[in-house]
A and B are shown apart, each in its own frame.
Chain A
Amino acid sequence: MAETAESKKEEADYKRVHSFPLIRHTDMPEEMRVETMELCVTACEKFATNNESAAKMIKESMDKKFGSSWHVVIGEGFGFEITHEVKNLLYMFFGGSLAVCVWKCS
């Protein structure tokens, strides 16, 4: 009993602790990176249950702000190989289990 309680605590802990946005790989300039990251966090928090809507929101905002055309993938388990325009890629983790990949390629 104690063990399970502990493990539960750990889980909760790790989820809490690991939920900050962590940039895994990016080659964006500083400003762009910060803005995009914040946008992703906002979108994911707003559409916590619906990845598609979150992705839609991110993609449309990015298109407006930085030009067409952006692609966004949000998910918990996927592999990818993409071609992106240099200095326009952001790959980050968020919420302990979500991975967000945003890139521009017209």
Chain B
Amino acid sequence: YKSRQDEDDGTEMADGTDEWTQGKTLIKPPDQLDLSEAELKEEFTRILTANNPHAPHNIVRYSFKERSYKPISNVDQLAVHLVLDGNLLHQDSDEACRQRARQGLEKVLRVVLWQVFGEGVAEEFGAEERPDSAESKSTRREQKLTNQFNFSERASQTLNNPLRQRECQTEPPPRANFSATANQWEIYDAYVEELQKQERNKEKHKAQSMKKEEEKSRKKTAVVETQSDDITNVGRAAKIMERMVNQNAFDDIAQDFKYFEDASDEFREQEGTLLPLWRFQYDKAKRLTVTALCWNPKYKDLFAVGLGSYDFSKQGHGMLIFYSLKNSTFPEYIYPTLSGILCLDIHSSLSYLVAVGFYDGSVAVYNLKEEDDEATYRSTAKSGKHTDPVWQVKWQKDDMDNNHCFFSVSSDGRVASWTLVKNELLFTDITKLSVGGATVERSEEARHLTMACGTSFDFHKKIDYLFLVGTEEGKIHKCSKAYSSQFLETYDAHNMAVEAVRWNPFHPKVFISCSSDWTVKIWDHTVRSPMFTFDLNCAVGDVVWSPYSSAVFAAVTIDGKVHVFDLTVNKYEPICHQLVAAKKTKLTHIEFNPVHPIIIVGDDHGFVTSLKLSPNLRKKPKEKKGQELPKGPEVEVAKMEKLLNLLREPDNS
């Protein structure tokens, strides 16, 4: 009852005022301490400080840095009695902003979804947000924030270049091994050697200083030489280049020359063909006629061409040209001459000496080794040059003094021998050709009138002193070097001038002659009448024996044809006659190459054409079964003999 009263006191104020005035009666709770009056009056002072009585006074912490316990100066006095988390946010804080944003978006989203997707979706979203919907309505006036749900991210990935790995290892600098020994004696030796070398150099210098004066005069030439050395080096390289280019350009011709054999010859029984190969021409020689051809005996691909003119009225300059088969576009050597060349011959052993006979009657010798293009020797009016064109020159064996000498025959009726003595040409008349044999008694005038004109001659291969001369009247004289005025024999060969006379290279008795009277005749020099006669229907310019067979020869005619005869095959007709040159081109000369199966033919336009002989034209005699075939010139001689015997027998009989 007492406790109830206390409570009532507390709560009922209005009623309590009445009770206050009644007076207080202290009520003791049952568990109150029983204290005496004195104890009750005792004053207890209580000081209120901010210090937390429960907080410790000293806290000591271990400091690792000083490796000891250190007291902490400030002890935390704060005592937390009650902590209660509230859910108020500051309106500017992040979370508040985010919440506001969310509320705003929800409103917008509801509107958009309603528009885009219709009620259903909006209802869905609406279901989640229903508790907020009341709030969202109230905040609709707020600014529309970007709709996070309608926000479409656009992203694209640029092309990342594919990664590549590249490694590289540089070459290490090159290394080399080296070994040596370093001893006292090695060192000593090296020094001694060095000193010796130095001494030698000193001597050289001394010697050189003395020579310097001499050399000063030679300085100029030395300078020129060094300059020309450069050019010659280039020249050599250029020459090789030229050859290469030519080989490439004329590759098929070169292949033909070497390897082509006309297969159709097997089907043609006895006939053969001539395959045209290179064509040699030189610009400046265009208006000149090829008047002489000669193969070089040493270099089988080199041949000489003499150019001039047969026309009496049109006499101009001439040229001596050397061509090589390796270069058909440009000559190797060119020597221009004042007068037209009519004949030339290359020395058989010294292939750089060339004897040339001119239209103006002089002869000259060219030395190919020399740089300039002047003749080394030249005959002049004083030194006995001919008064008429020189038609043929031929080298002879060196005479007893080892001087070179050659013979020449000319229209003035003289056969002269020229000897190269030091710097001069000395001449001696060998024979004077006259009509009707030797005539010593006749007067000078008469002799002049009856001089025959020699047009060609040839020396016997074996019998040195024997030679043949063909004349303009058509006679052939057999002469000897020993007898100057008498002929050994005279043959009434042709009706017109004898163009060429040649001994057979194998048979010692046989020679051939050709003439402008359309005929080619083969003779035995012991018999006065010809063995064989061939009519070629056109003036024959030149005839030549082949070097590989005693019964094969070739002739060229003015109508541009080449005729090849093989007497073992066909005694009456050529086994090949072929038009080689263009229309209206006269062929003037022909020569067989001593080694290769080709012939060169010169014409009156200054061209030289080379032709390859087909296999039929170079047939060797067939082997008889069981018999060994003797090779060599004897065979050829035997061949010829057989042919001649055939002729002789009917004669004899």
Contacts and interface: CB of A to CB of B under 8 A. Distances in A.
Interface of A: 14, 17-18, 22, 24-25, 27, 75-86, 89, 91, 93, 96-99, 101, 103, 105
A18 B191 contact: yes
Nearest to B177: A83
A58 B259 CA distance: 72
Given A93-B187, A96-B187, A22 B194 contact: yes
B191 A77 contact: no
Given A93-B187, A96-B187, A97-B184, A85 B174 contact: yes
Chain B interface, DSSP helix/strand/loop, else mixed: mixed
A86 B176 contact: yes
A84 B175 CA distance: 5
A25 B182 contact: no
A84 B195 CA distance: 29
Contacts of B179: 79-82
Contacts of B174: 85-86
B184 A91 contact: no
B437 to A, nearest CB: 89
9 cross-chain pairs, A with B, having the tightest CB-CB distances, nearest first: A99-B182, A18-B191, A81-B179, A79-B181, A86-B174, A85-B173, A93-B187, A83-B177, A77-B183
B434 to A, nearest CB: 85
Nearest to B184: A97
A86 B190 contact: no
Interface of B: 173-184, 186-188, 190-192, 194-195
Max chain A C-beta neighbours (<10 A), residue from B174, B177, B190: B190
Contact of B175 (A93, A96, A105): A105
Given A76-B184, A79-B180, 10 more contacts: A17-B195, A18-B192, A75-B182, A78-B181, A79-B179, A80-B180, A81-B177, A84-B177, A85-B175, A98-B187
Chain A interface, DSSP helix/strand/loop, else mixed: strand
Contacts of B180: 24-25, 79-80, 91, 101
B181 A93 contact: no
A105 B178 CA distance: 12
Nearest to B185: A77
A17 B195 CA distance: 9
A45 B463 CA distance: 91
Contacts of B175: 83-86, 105
B176 A83 contact: yes
Contacts of A17: 191, 195
A101 B177 contact: no
A77 B185 CA distance: 9
Given A17-B195, A22-B194, A89 B188 contact: no
A89 B174 CA distance: 12
12 contacts: A78-B181, A80-B181, A84-B175, A84-B178, A85-B174, A85-B175, A86-B173, A86-B174, A91-B180, A98-B187, A103-B178, A105-B175
Contacts of B183: 76-77
A14 B582 CA distance: 90
B341 to A, nearest CB: 61
Contacts of B186: 99
Nearest to B176: A86
Nearest to B192: A18
Nearest to A88: B173
Contacts of B195: 17-18
Contact of A84 (B176, B182, B192): B176
Nearest to B187: A93
A77 B184 CA distance: 7
Contacts of B182: 75-80, 93, 99, 101
